[in-house]
Structure 1
Amino acid sequence: MDFYKFFMNSFFLPHEAIQINTIIFPQDRSHQIMRVLRLQAGEHVYVLDNRGNRYLTELITVDPLATRGRIIQQELSSNEPVSNLHLFVAITQRDKLEWIFQKCTEIGVNQFTPVVTRRSLSQETVANARKQERWTKIVMEAAEQSQRDCIPEIHPTIPLANCLSYAGDYKLVAYENEKIVSIPDALPEASPANVAILVGPEGGFSVEEIVLLDAQGWRAVSLGRRVLRMETAAIVACTLILHHLGEMGI
Protein backbone atom coordinates (compact mmCIF):
# COMPACT_ATOMS: atom_id res chain seq x y z
CA MET A 1 0.00 0.00 0.00
CA ASP A 2 2.80 2.43 0.86
CA PHE A 3 4.51 1.75 -2.49
CA TYR A 4 1.25 2.41 -4.31
CA LYS A 5 0.59 5.63 -2.41
CA PHE A 6 4.00 7.05 -3.24
CA PHE A 7 3.20 7.13 -6.95
CA MET A 8 -0.27 8.63 -6.68
CA ASN A 9 -1.12 11.90 -8.40
CA SER A 10 -1.06 15.01 -6.22
CA PHE A 11 -3.18 18.16 -6.54
CA PHE A 12 -2.81 21.50 -4.79
CA LEU A 13 -6.29 22.88 -4.18
CA PRO A 14 -7.59 26.09 -2.60
CA HIS A 15 -8.51 25.68 1.04
CA GLU A 16 -12.22 26.19 0.36
CA ALA A 17 -12.25 23.06 -1.85
CA ILE A 18 -11.35 20.94 1.19
CA GLN A 19 -14.41 20.36 3.35
CA ILE A 20 -14.89 18.18 6.43
CA ASN A 21 -14.83 14.81 4.68
CA THR A 22 -15.23 15.83 1.06
CA ILE A 23 -13.05 17.30 -1.67
CA ILE A 24 -14.69 19.29 -4.46
CA PHE A 25 -12.25 19.65 -7.35
CA PRO A 26 -12.44 22.90 -9.37
CA GLN A 27 -13.35 22.63 -13.04
CA ASP A 28 -9.78 22.84 -14.35
CA ARG A 29 -8.64 20.05 -12.02
CA SER A 30 -11.75 18.00 -12.78
CA HIS A 31 -10.96 18.24 -16.49
CA GLN A 32 -7.36 17.21 -15.80
CA ILE A 33 -8.46 14.22 -13.73
CA MET A 34 -10.93 12.92 -16.31
CA ARG A 35 -9.62 13.99 -19.72
CA VAL A 36 -5.84 14.16 -19.20
CA LEU A 37 -4.98 11.66 -16.46
CA ARG A 38 -8.03 9.49 -17.20
CA LEU A 39 -8.53 8.61 -13.56
CA GLN A 40 -11.67 6.76 -12.53
CA ALA A 41 -13.95 6.60 -9.53
CA GLY A 42 -12.41 4.46 -6.81
CA GLU A 43 -8.83 5.54 -7.52
CA HIS A 44 -6.80 7.36 -4.87
CA VAL A 45 -5.03 10.72 -5.12
CA TYR A 46 -3.37 13.16 -2.75
CA VAL A 47 -4.90 16.58 -2.17
CA LEU A 48 -2.56 19.24 -0.76
CA ASP A 49 -3.56 22.50 0.93
CA ASN A 50 -0.16 24.27 0.65
CA ARG A 51 -0.16 24.53 4.45
CA GLY A 52 1.77 21.33 5.06
CA ASN A 53 -1.24 19.01 5.11
CA ARG A 54 -1.97 16.25 2.63
CA TYR A 55 -5.21 14.32 2.30
CA LEU A 56 -5.39 10.78 0.99
CA THR A 57 -8.54 10.96 -1.12
CA GLU A 58 -10.71 8.44 -2.94
CA LEU A 59 -12.40 9.73 -6.09
CA ILE A 60 -16.16 9.22 -5.70
CA THR A 61 -17.53 10.84 -8.87
CA VAL A 62 -15.35 11.76 -11.83
CA ASP A 63 -16.87 14.54 -13.91
CA PRO A 64 -15.12 17.08 -16.19
CA LEU A 65 -16.94 19.93 -14.46
CA ALA A 66 -17.00 18.91 -10.80
CA THR A 67 -15.17 15.82 -9.60
CA ARG A 68 -15.75 14.85 -5.98
CA GLY A 69 -13.61 12.87 -3.58
CA ARG A 70 -13.83 11.40 -0.08
CA ILE A 71 -11.06 12.06 2.42
CA ILE A 72 -9.71 8.77 3.74
CA GLN A 73 -7.09 10.22 6.07
CA GLN A 74 -5.15 13.40 6.74
CA GLU A 75 -1.36 13.29 6.89
CA LEU A 76 1.19 15.82 8.08
CA SER A 77 3.91 17.12 5.78
CA SER A 78 6.82 14.75 5.27
CA ASN A 79 8.51 15.84 2.04
CA GLU A 80 9.51 19.43 2.80
CA PRO A 81 13.08 20.35 3.77
CA VAL A 82 13.57 21.73 7.26
CA SER A 83 16.11 24.21 5.94
CA ASN A 84 14.97 27.21 3.93
CA LEU A 85 16.80 27.62 0.62
CA HIS A 86 16.24 30.87 -1.27
CA LEU A 87 17.55 31.01 -4.84
CA PHE A 88 18.33 34.46 -6.21
CA VAL A 89 18.87 34.00 -9.94
CA ALA A 90 19.75 36.46 -12.69
CA ILE A 91 17.08 37.16 -15.29
CA THR A 92 17.75 35.23 -18.47
CA GLN A 93 15.92 33.78 -21.47
CA ARG A 94 12.38 32.70 -20.64
CA ASP A 95 12.84 28.99 -21.27
CA LYS A 96 16.03 28.84 -19.18
CA LEU A 97 14.49 30.70 -16.25
CA GLU A 98 11.38 28.53 -16.29
CA TRP A 99 13.54 25.40 -16.43
CA ILE A 100 15.47 26.63 -13.38
CA PHE A 101 12.21 27.25 -11.48
CA GLN A 102 10.93 23.79 -12.38
CA LYS A 103 14.02 21.76 -11.58
CA CYS A 104 14.96 23.64 -8.42
CA THR A 105 11.41 23.17 -7.14
CA GLU A 106 11.79 19.44 -7.67
CA ILE A 107 14.96 19.23 -5.59
CA GLY A 108 13.64 21.33 -2.67
CA VAL A 109 14.15 25.08 -3.12
CA ASN A 110 11.63 27.07 -1.04
CA GLN A 111 11.86 30.56 -2.51
CA PHE A 112 12.91 32.21 -5.77
CA THR A 113 13.79 35.81 -6.56
CA PRO A 114 14.68 36.86 -10.13
CA VAL A 115 17.48 39.44 -10.11
CA VAL A 116 18.59 42.05 -12.63
CA THR A 117 22.39 42.29 -12.76
CA ARG A 118 24.72 44.37 -14.89
CA ARG A 119 25.05 41.61 -17.50
CA SER A 120 21.48 40.27 -17.38
CA LEU A 121 19.88 39.77 -20.79
CA SER A 122 16.90 41.83 -19.61
CA GLN A 123 16.98 44.93 -17.43
CA GLU A 124 13.25 44.90 -16.65
CA THR A 125 12.45 44.72 -12.95
CA VAL A 126 8.67 44.44 -13.33
CA ALA A 127 7.21 41.10 -14.40
CA ASN A 128 3.73 41.41 -15.85
CA ALA A 129 0.87 39.54 -14.21
CA ARG A 130 0.71 36.97 -17.00
CA LYS A 131 4.38 36.06 -16.61
CA GLN A 132 4.09 35.82 -12.83
CA GLU A 133 1.04 33.59 -13.20
CA ARG A 134 2.92 31.33 -15.60
CA TRP A 135 5.88 31.04 -13.22
CA THR A 136 3.54 30.18 -10.34
CA LYS A 137 1.88 27.45 -12.40
CA ILE A 138 5.25 25.98 -13.33
CA VAL A 139 6.42 25.66 -9.72
CA MET A 140 3.03 24.32 -8.59
CA GLU A 141 3.10 21.57 -11.22
CA ALA A 142 6.72 20.76 -10.35
CA ALA A 143 5.80 20.57 -6.65
CA GLU A 144 2.94 18.18 -7.45
CA GLN A 145 5.12 16.00 -9.67
CA SER A 146 7.87 15.76 -7.04
CA GLN A 147 5.42 14.98 -4.21
CA ARG A 148 6.15 18.15 -2.28
CA ASP A 149 3.72 19.49 0.30
CA CYS A 150 4.15 23.23 -0.26
CA ILE A 151 4.48 25.41 -3.35
CA PRO A 152 7.68 27.49 -3.44
CA GLU A 153 7.19 31.25 -3.47
CA ILE A 154 8.35 33.37 -6.40
CA HIS A 155 9.11 36.92 -5.30
CA PRO A 156 8.98 39.99 -7.57
CA THR A 157 12.03 40.72 -9.72
CA ILE A 158 14.55 43.05 -8.05
CA PRO A 159 17.78 44.83 -8.99
CA LEU A 160 20.98 43.36 -7.56
CA ALA A 161 21.32 46.32 -5.18
CA ASN A 162 18.23 45.10 -3.33
CA CYS A 163 19.98 41.80 -2.54
CA LEU A 164 22.74 43.50 -0.59
CA SER A 165 20.75 43.91 2.62
CA TYR A 166 19.11 40.47 2.55
CA ALA A 167 19.12 39.02 6.06
CA GLY A 168 19.91 35.32 5.84
CA ASP A 169 21.98 33.06 8.09
CA TYR A 170 24.22 32.15 5.17
CA LYS A 171 24.50 34.20 1.98
CA LEU A 172 26.43 32.57 -0.84
CA VAL A 173 27.21 33.71 -4.37
CA ALA A 174 28.32 31.23 -7.02
CA TYR A 175 31.43 32.76 -8.57
CA GLU A 176 33.55 31.13 -11.25
CA ASN A 177 36.72 32.92 -10.12
CA GLU A 178 36.51 31.57 -6.56
CA LYS A 179 38.95 28.64 -6.46
CA ILE A 180 39.26 27.84 -2.75
CA VAL A 181 35.99 28.13 -0.78
CA SER A 182 33.43 25.44 -1.60
CA ILE A 183 29.80 25.22 -0.49
CA PRO A 184 30.61 22.72 2.32
CA ASP A 185 33.27 25.14 3.57
CA ALA A 186 30.70 27.92 3.89
CA LEU A 187 27.88 26.01 5.62
CA PRO A 188 27.31 24.13 8.90
CA GLU A 189 27.48 20.34 8.79
CA ALA A 190 24.11 18.61 8.25
CA SER A 191 22.22 21.20 10.27
CA PRO A 192 19.01 23.11 9.38
CA ALA A 193 19.79 26.58 8.12
CA ASN A 194 18.38 29.59 6.32
CA VAL A 195 20.50 29.80 3.16
CA ALA A 196 20.48 32.17 0.19
CA ILE A 197 22.38 31.35 -2.99
CA LEU A 198 22.87 33.91 -5.76
CA VAL A 199 23.53 32.70 -9.31
CA GLY A 200 24.58 35.22 -11.93
CA PRO A 201 23.88 35.62 -15.67
CA GLU A 202 25.57 34.00 -18.66
CA GLY A 203 28.33 36.61 -18.63
CA GLY A 204 28.91 36.26 -14.90
CA PHE A 205 29.10 38.98 -12.27
CA SER A 206 31.28 42.02 -12.77
CA VAL A 207 34.16 42.52 -10.35
CA GLU A 208 32.36 45.58 -8.95
CA GLU A 209 29.28 43.49 -8.18
CA ILE A 210 31.33 40.85 -6.38
CA VAL A 211 33.05 43.55 -4.31
CA LEU A 212 29.67 45.04 -3.32
CA LEU A 213 28.25 41.64 -2.41
CA ASP A 214 31.31 40.73 -0.37
CA ALA A 215 31.06 43.99 1.58
CA GLN A 216 27.49 43.06 2.56
CA GLY A 217 28.31 39.57 3.79
CA TRP A 218 27.73 37.53 0.65
CA ARG A 219 30.42 34.84 0.47
CA ALA A 220 31.75 33.74 -2.92
CA VAL A 221 31.81 29.96 -3.37
CA SER A 222 33.17 27.64 -6.04
CA LEU A 223 31.06 25.07 -7.88
CA GLY A 224 34.10 23.13 -9.03
CA ARG A 225 36.90 23.34 -11.54
CA ARG A 226 34.70 23.67 -14.62
CA VAL A 227 32.73 26.75 -15.67
CA LEU A 228 29.00 25.92 -15.79
CA ARG A 229 26.12 27.43 -17.71
CA MET A 230 23.93 29.48 -15.42
CA GLU A 231 21.05 27.00 -15.45
CA THR A 232 23.46 24.17 -14.64
CA ALA A 233 25.06 26.29 -11.92
CA ALA A 234 21.67 26.89 -10.29
CA ILE A 235 20.89 23.17 -10.16
CA VAL A 236 24.36 22.17 -8.96
CA ALA A 237 24.52 24.88 -6.28
CA CYS A 238 21.09 24.09 -4.85
CA THR A 239 21.73 20.34 -4.90
CA LEU A 240 25.07 20.71 -3.13
CA ILE A 241 23.53 22.95 -0.46
CA LEU A 242 20.56 20.67 0.25
CA HIS A 243 22.73 17.55 0.24
CA HIS A 244 25.26 19.09 2.62
CA LEU A 245 22.46 20.11 5.00
CA GLY A 246 21.05 16.58 4.94
CA GLU A 247 17.88 17.59 3.11
CA MET A 248 18.06 15.28 0.08
CA GLY A 249 17.03 12.15 1.95
CA ILE A 250 19.95 10.13 0.58
Structure 2
Amino acid sequence: MHQDRFFIPNVSIDSEIWIEGKEAHHILHVKRAKQGNKITLFDGKGIEYKAVVVETQRARLKVFIESSLVVDREPNVSITIAVSIPKGKFSDILIQKCSELGIHTLTPLHCERSVVAIKETSAEKRERWNKIVIESSKQCKRNILTEITTGVAIEDFLKTLCDYDLSLMPCLRRHAMSLKAVLRERPSAKKIVCLIGPEGGFTDNEIERAVEKGCIPVTLGSSTLRIETAAIAVSSMLLYEYCL
Protein backbone atom coordinates (compact mmCIF):
# COMPACT_ATOMS: atom_id res chain seq x y z
CA MET A 1 0.00 0.00 0.00
CA HIS A 2 2.95 2.38 -0.27
CA GLN A 3 1.22 4.04 -3.25
CA ASP A 4 -1.49 5.30 -0.86
CA ARG A 5 -0.57 8.52 0.93
CA PHE A 6 -2.11 9.99 4.05
CA PHE A 7 -1.56 13.33 5.75
CA ILE A 8 -0.39 13.26 9.37
CA PRO A 9 1.12 16.59 10.52
CA ASN A 10 3.04 15.38 13.60
CA VAL A 11 5.10 12.23 13.17
CA SER A 12 8.18 10.91 14.98
CA ILE A 13 10.48 8.18 13.68
CA ASP A 14 10.66 4.85 15.55
CA SER A 15 7.35 5.48 17.29
CA GLU A 16 3.82 4.17 17.33
CA ILE A 17 1.01 6.63 16.70
CA TRP A 18 -2.76 6.45 16.59
CA ILE A 19 -4.49 7.80 13.50
CA GLU A 20 -8.04 8.99 13.98
CA GLY A 21 -10.69 11.03 12.21
CA LYS A 22 -11.05 11.38 8.45
CA GLU A 23 -7.66 9.87 7.60
CA ALA A 24 -8.41 6.83 9.75
CA HIS A 25 -11.74 6.36 7.99
CA HIS A 26 -10.00 6.61 4.61
CA ILE A 27 -7.33 4.08 5.56
CA LEU A 28 -9.69 1.61 7.24
CA HIS A 29 -12.89 1.80 5.24
CA VAL A 30 -11.85 3.09 1.81
CA LYS A 31 -8.44 1.45 1.42
CA ARG A 32 -9.43 -1.39 3.79
CA ALA A 33 -6.03 -1.58 5.47
CA LYS A 34 -5.34 -4.55 7.73
CA GLN A 35 -2.73 -5.31 10.34
CA GLY A 36 0.65 -5.71 8.64
CA ASN A 37 -0.18 -3.47 5.67
CA LYS A 38 2.35 -0.78 4.80
CA ILE A 39 1.30 2.80 4.13
CA THR A 40 2.97 6.14 3.37
CA LEU A 41 2.41 9.24 5.49
CA PHE A 42 3.50 12.81 4.78
CA ASP A 43 3.65 15.78 7.13
CA GLY A 44 3.17 18.68 4.70
CA LYS A 45 6.65 19.99 5.53
CA GLY A 46 8.60 17.89 3.04
CA ILE A 47 8.99 14.51 4.75
CA GLU A 48 7.49 11.14 3.82
CA TYR A 49 7.22 8.32 6.34
CA LYS A 50 6.96 4.59 5.73
CA ALA A 51 4.69 2.99 8.29
CA VAL A 52 3.15 -0.40 9.04
CA VAL A 53 -0.31 -0.96 10.51
CA VAL A 54 0.02 -2.71 13.87
CA GLU A 55 -3.54 -2.47 15.22
CA THR A 56 -6.95 -1.58 13.83
CA GLN A 57 -10.15 -0.61 15.57
CA ARG A 58 -13.50 0.53 14.21
CA ALA A 59 -12.65 4.22 14.03
CA ARG A 60 -8.89 4.40 14.49
CA LEU A 61 -5.67 2.52 13.84
CA LYS A 62 -2.19 2.34 15.26
CA VAL A 63 0.87 2.43 12.99
CA PHE A 64 4.59 2.03 13.60
CA ILE A 65 6.79 4.58 11.82
CA GLU A 66 9.61 2.58 10.21
CA SER A 67 11.56 5.25 8.34
CA SER A 68 11.49 8.82 7.08
CA LEU A 69 12.85 10.51 3.99
CA VAL A 70 12.96 14.09 2.76
CA VAL A 71 11.36 13.96 -0.69
CA ASP A 72 11.44 17.20 -2.70
CA ARG A 73 8.91 17.36 -5.53
CA GLU A 74 8.61 21.15 -5.50
CA PRO A 75 9.22 23.42 -8.50
CA ASN A 76 12.58 25.19 -8.57
CA VAL A 77 10.78 28.55 -8.44
CA SER A 78 8.60 29.86 -5.63
CA ILE A 79 5.34 31.24 -7.01
CA THR A 80 2.83 33.32 -5.09
CA ILE A 81 -0.60 33.95 -6.56
CA ALA A 82 -2.32 36.96 -5.01
CA VAL A 83 -5.88 36.66 -6.23
CA SER A 84 -9.23 38.33 -5.88
CA ILE A 85 -11.17 35.29 -4.69
CA PRO A 86 -14.09 34.22 -6.92
CA LYS A 87 -17.42 33.19 -5.49
CA GLY A 88 -18.54 29.72 -4.41
CA LYS A 89 -17.19 26.59 -6.03
CA PHE A 90 -14.84 28.55 -8.29
CA SER A 91 -12.59 29.43 -5.34
CA ASP A 92 -12.37 25.72 -4.49
CA ILE A 93 -11.36 24.89 -8.07
CA LEU A 94 -8.72 27.62 -8.06
CA ILE A 95 -7.18 26.38 -4.81
CA GLN A 96 -7.28 22.73 -5.84
CA LYS A 97 -5.57 23.24 -9.18
CA CYS A 98 -2.97 25.73 -7.97
CA SER A 99 -2.06 23.33 -5.19
CA GLU A 100 -1.71 20.45 -7.66
CA LEU A 101 0.53 22.59 -9.85
CA GLY A 102 2.89 23.38 -6.98
CA ILE A 103 2.08 27.01 -6.16
CA HIS A 104 3.91 27.99 -2.98
CA THR A 105 1.47 30.58 -1.60
CA LEU A 106 -2.06 31.77 -2.29
CA THR A 107 -3.07 35.17 -0.92
CA PRO A 108 -6.69 36.37 -1.06
CA LEU A 109 -6.53 39.88 -2.49
CA HIS A 110 -9.16 42.56 -1.98
CA CYS A 111 -9.44 44.96 -4.91
CA GLU A 112 -11.79 47.82 -5.70
CA ARG A 113 -14.00 45.57 -7.84
CA SER A 114 -13.73 42.41 -5.70
CA VAL A 115 -17.01 40.59 -5.11
CA VAL A 116 -15.82 38.48 -2.16
CA ALA A 117 -14.72 40.78 0.67
CA ILE A 118 -11.74 39.96 2.88
CA LYS A 119 -14.05 39.52 5.87
CA GLU A 120 -15.83 36.75 3.96
CA THR A 121 -12.63 34.68 3.92
CA SER A 122 -13.54 33.48 7.41
CA ALA A 123 -11.68 30.96 9.54
CA GLU A 124 -14.26 28.36 8.56
CA LYS A 125 -13.76 29.03 4.87
CA ARG A 126 -9.99 28.95 5.19
CA GLU A 127 -10.25 25.64 7.05
CA ARG A 128 -12.17 24.21 4.08
CA TRP A 129 -9.56 25.60 1.70
CA ASN A 130 -6.78 23.97 3.72
CA LYS A 131 -8.60 20.63 3.48
CA ILE A 132 -8.70 21.05 -0.30
CA VAL A 133 -4.94 21.69 -0.28
CA ILE A 134 -4.34 18.51 1.75
CA GLU A 135 -6.49 16.36 -0.53
CA SER A 136 -4.86 17.69 -3.69
CA SER A 137 -1.38 17.16 -2.17
CA LYS A 138 -2.26 13.56 -1.39
CA GLN A 139 -3.40 13.04 -4.96
CA CYS A 140 -0.47 14.70 -6.75
CA LYS A 141 2.20 13.46 -4.29
CA ARG A 142 3.34 16.87 -3.09
CA ASN A 143 5.00 16.84 0.32
CA ILE A 144 4.75 20.59 0.90
CA LEU A 145 1.34 22.15 1.41
CA THR A 146 0.41 25.32 -0.44
CA GLU A 147 0.11 28.09 2.15
CA ILE A 148 -3.11 30.09 2.12
CA THR A 149 -2.51 33.38 3.88
CA THR A 150 -5.00 35.76 5.41
CA GLY A 151 -6.62 38.21 3.04
CA VAL A 152 -5.01 41.55 2.33
CA ALA A 153 -6.04 44.77 0.60
CA ILE A 154 -4.21 45.35 -2.68
CA GLU A 155 -2.67 48.63 -1.47
CA ASP A 156 -1.08 46.78 1.45
CA PHE A 157 0.06 43.86 -0.68
CA LEU A 158 1.80 46.17 -3.13
CA LYS A 159 4.13 47.19 -0.30
CA THR A 160 5.56 43.63 -0.28
CA LEU A 161 6.52 43.47 -3.97
CA CYS A 162 10.13 44.32 -3.13
CA ASP A 163 10.38 40.81 -1.63
CA TYR A 164 10.07 39.20 -5.09
CA ASP A 165 12.40 38.84 -8.06
CA LEU A 166 9.54 39.33 -10.48
CA SER A 167 6.07 40.84 -10.01
CA LEU A 168 3.42 40.36 -12.70
CA MET A 169 -0.08 41.75 -13.20
CA PRO A 170 -2.11 40.13 -15.99
CA CYS A 171 -4.59 42.70 -17.31
CA LEU A 172 -6.31 43.94 -20.45
CA ARG A 173 -4.34 47.17 -20.57
CA ARG A 174 -3.62 48.17 -24.16
CA HIS A 175 0.16 48.41 -23.75
CA ALA A 176 0.60 45.36 -21.49
CA MET A 177 3.66 43.32 -22.43
CA SER A 178 3.61 39.76 -23.69
CA LEU A 179 4.07 37.38 -20.77
CA LYS A 180 6.42 35.28 -22.88
CA ALA A 181 8.64 38.28 -23.62
CA VAL A 182 8.81 39.31 -19.96
CA LEU A 183 9.74 35.82 -18.80
CA ARG A 184 12.40 35.36 -21.48
CA GLU A 185 14.04 38.59 -20.30
CA ARG A 186 14.20 37.30 -16.69
CA PRO A 187 15.45 33.70 -16.86
CA SER A 188 16.97 33.75 -13.38
CA ALA A 189 13.85 34.72 -11.40
CA LYS A 190 13.34 32.40 -8.44
CA LYS A 191 10.66 34.15 -6.40
CA ILE A 192 7.69 35.30 -8.43
CA VAL A 193 4.36 36.89 -7.56
CA CYS A 194 1.40 37.26 -9.88
CA LEU A 195 -1.61 39.43 -9.06
CA ILE A 196 -4.94 38.21 -10.43
CA GLY A 197 -7.77 40.74 -10.37
CA PRO A 198 -11.55 40.39 -10.00
CA GLU A 199 -13.96 39.62 -12.86
CA GLY A 200 -14.20 43.33 -13.68
CA GLY A 201 -10.44 43.60 -13.84
CA PHE A 202 -8.07 45.92 -12.02
CA THR A 203 -8.91 49.62 -12.05
CA ASP A 204 -6.57 52.03 -13.81
CA ASN A 205 -5.61 53.39 -10.40
CA GLU A 206 -4.65 49.92 -9.12
CA ILE A 207 -2.57 49.24 -12.21
CA GLU A 208 -0.76 52.55 -11.92
CA ARG A 209 0.04 51.99 -8.24
CA ALA A 210 1.29 48.48 -9.00
CA VAL A 211 3.54 49.76 -11.81
CA GLU A 212 4.98 52.34 -9.42
CA LYS A 213 5.96 49.45 -7.12
CA GLY A 214 7.70 47.58 -9.92
CA CYS A 215 4.88 45.32 -11.09
CA ILE A 216 4.79 44.55 -14.82
CA PRO A 217 1.41 44.54 -16.61
CA VAL A 218 1.26 41.51 -18.92
CA THR A 219 -1.24 40.00 -21.30
CA LEU A 220 -2.39 36.37 -21.28
CA GLY A 221 -3.99 36.73 -24.71
CA SER A 222 -6.98 38.49 -26.19
CA SER A 223 -9.63 36.55 -24.25
CA THR A 224 -11.14 37.85 -21.02
CA LEU A 225 -10.61 35.01 -18.57
CA ARG A 226 -12.45 34.06 -15.41
CA ILE A 227 -10.46 34.54 -12.19
CA GLU A 228 -9.78 30.86 -11.62
CA THR A 229 -8.91 30.31 -15.28
CA ALA A 230 -6.39 33.14 -15.22
CA ALA A 231 -4.79 31.88 -11.99
CA ILE A 232 -4.44 28.32 -13.29
CA ALA A 233 -3.26 29.43 -16.72
CA VAL A 234 -0.56 31.80 -15.48
CA SER A 235 0.63 29.23 -12.93
CA SER A 236 1.05 26.68 -15.72
CA MET A 237 2.84 29.19 -17.96
CA LEU A 238 5.30 30.14 -15.23
CA LEU A 239 6.05 26.52 -14.41
CA TYR A 240 6.52 25.68 -18.08
CA GLU A 241 8.96 28.54 -18.57
CA TYR A 242 11.06 28.04 -15.45
CA CYS A 243 10.79 24.33 -14.67
CA LEU A 244 10.25 22.31 -17.87
Alpha-carbon deviations, 1:204-250, whole Å to 9, x = none? 1111111111111111111123222221111000011111111xxx5
- The CA deviation at 1:164 is 1.1
Q: Which runs of no fewer than 5 residues in structure 2 stay unpaired?
A: none
Alpha-carbon deviations, 1:104-162, whole Å to 9, x = none? 00011010100111111123446322112111111111111110001111111111111
Match of residue 197 from structure 1? 194
**Equivalent runs, 1:52-71 vs 2, <5 Å:** 52-71=46-65
Match of residue 74 from structure 2? 80
Match of residue 226 from structure 2? 229
Structure 1 Cα separation of the partners of residues 235 and 151 of structure 2 = 20
Q: Percent identity?
A: 28
SS of equivalent residue, structure 1 residue 164 = helix
- Structure 1 residues 228 and 128: alpha-carbon distance in aligned structure 2, compared to 1, 3 A threshold: closer
CA contact (8 A) 1:178 1:220 kept: no
Structure 2 Cα separation of the partners of residues 123 and 50 of structure 1 = 29
Match of residue 179 from structure 2? 183
Structure 1 Cα separation of the partners of residues 156 and 43 of structure 2 = 32
**Equivalent runs, 1:1-250 vs 2, <5 Å:** 5=2, 8-15=3-10, 17-125=11-119, 127-166=121-160, 167-177=163-173, 181-187=177-183, 188-189=186-187, 191=188, 193-246=190-243, 250=244
Structure 2 Cα separation of the partners of residues 165 and 145 of structure 1 = 35
Q: Which runs of no fewer than 5 residues in structure 1 stay unpaired?
A: none
> How many pairs does the alignment contain?
240
Alpha-carbon deviations, 1:36-67, whole Å to 9, x = none? 33333343322112221111223333334331
- Cα RMSD over matched residues? 2.1
SS of equivalent residue, structure 1 residue 98 = helix
TM-score (norm 2): 0.89
- Structure 1 residues 123 and 30: alpha-carbon distance in aligned structure 2, compared to 1, 3 A threshold: closer
- The CA deviation at 1:19 is 4.2
CA contact (8 A) 1:33 1:62 kept: no
CA contact (8 A) 2:171 2:218 kept: yes
CA contact (8 A) 2:46 2:144 kept: yes
- Structure 1 residues 179 and 229: alpha-carbon distance in aligned structure 2, compared to 1, 3 A threshold: farther
- The CA deviation at 1:76 is 1.5
CA contact (8 A) 1:12 1:144 kept: yes
Structure 2 Cα separation of the partners of residues 41 and 192 of structure 1 = 48
Alpha-carbon deviations, 1:181-218, whole Å to 9, x = none? 233332333x4600001111111111111111111111
- Structure 1 residues 204 and 20: alpha-carbon distance in aligned structure 2, compared to 1, 3 A threshold: same
Alignment-mate amino acid for residue 170 of structure 1: L
SS of equivalent residue, structure 2 residue 177 = coil
CA contact (8 A) 1:183 1:241 kept: no
CA contact (8 A) 1:57 1:73 kept: yes
CA contact (8 A) 1:164 1:213 kept: yes
